[in-house]
Structure 1
Amino acid sequence: MLPMSRLKEAGSPYHHGQLREALLDAAFELLGTQNVNQISLREIARQAGVSHAAPYHYFPDRAQLLGALAEKCNALFYTAQEKAVQAQSSPTERLMALGQAYVHFATAHPNAFSLIFDPEICPPNGSDTSAATSVQANHELLGRVIHDCQAAGYFPGHDSAVVGAALWATVHGLAHLILLGHLPEGVVPDALRTLTATLGEQP
């Protein structure tokens, strides 16, 4: 599929299926400078270079657009973490990479990060939303990384679910504190290593 910018430049019409993705791309671009409450279907259409009526063929209302946008943001969030994990070989380095990728996505895309955790758009443990699959994939990725660490002898005597909760709470809290300007992003590696040591990391 041609990038949205090339489609505009060539003056080519969107083919079936391309317009929906182009509208979501445009919405994600707008999240770079606006929070989700400021984004309208009309503005998304303008950003995508299509008529004001075009988005309604795919999203009858703003709520459905935001649900699809949340799905896209969750998928991008998961992909960023998965790539970071796959780039490392040892279990603990994969864990470090996962936490750092989590925080980096938050700082690089703060409005998308806020959307992902907006309880009105992405209700916690909601199984009836289009983003639920990506949310579950994120949880499973963390679970696999922790399982690999424990198989290698780390976190002895600790329940994997409790370890996951502690790590998730830590990186999520770090992300918010960094976004608010209370901490520099560079503190993340040392904070994660300190936590894993407390949980019983073995050298």
Structure 2
Amino acid sequence: MRVVLADDERMVRTALRVILAAETGITVVGEAATGAEAVSVVRALRPDVVLMDVRMPGIDGIRATELILGSMAPPPRVVVVTTFENDSYVYEALRAGASGFLLKRAAAEDLVQAVRLVARSDSLLFPAAVRGLAAAYAPGGTAAAPPPWAARLTGREADVLRLIAKGLTNAEIAGRLGVGPATAKTHVAAVLAKTGARDRTQAVIAAYESGFITPA
């Protein structure tokens, strides 16, 4: 797993590099101190995962995430690394396509787990935190105007989207619905396709923003 670190604080980048360097199968291939530099470094090195600070001078992490994900195929997975979880910057980064976020005070093992999760195309979803962010910052929708994709979901797929929003894994969804793991995986894939989401985090954001799921 190839990782790029983007943070305007050298000490933060050094700490992240030291933690990841101790792990087998993870290599930090580049660093960036600004959003513009992050875009350039990521495009040149094509890492699997980018750990992105959101508050950087010039182009911030939100815009850098948009530029990276909109210009690379296949795109890397972006994890926002932030000081405050209940922050409009975090929510905007998730809307821009980030697969999840981590607090800078997170334990070393949580950082490593996050990199491994997103590298294998899982999203880093914290249901309570995302729900709180949606309550504070999502524009929301109305029951009278459901999103176009809602009509394309089967009843079972709608249930799966609600379970995804609760943070359940495919195995947990299978157990909750009484189906096999392969069936649960198929339902999740259908939800992502019909909502137009890149991953589970994006599907949940779309559900909150449209009013399909409400923070309450």
RCO comparison, higher one (Cα < 8 Å, 6+): 1
More strand by share: 2
Q: Which has more radius of gyration?
A: 1
Same-fold call, TM > 0.5?
A: no
Relative to the length of structure 2, the TM-score reads: 0.28
Relative to the length of structure 1, the TM-score reads: 0.29
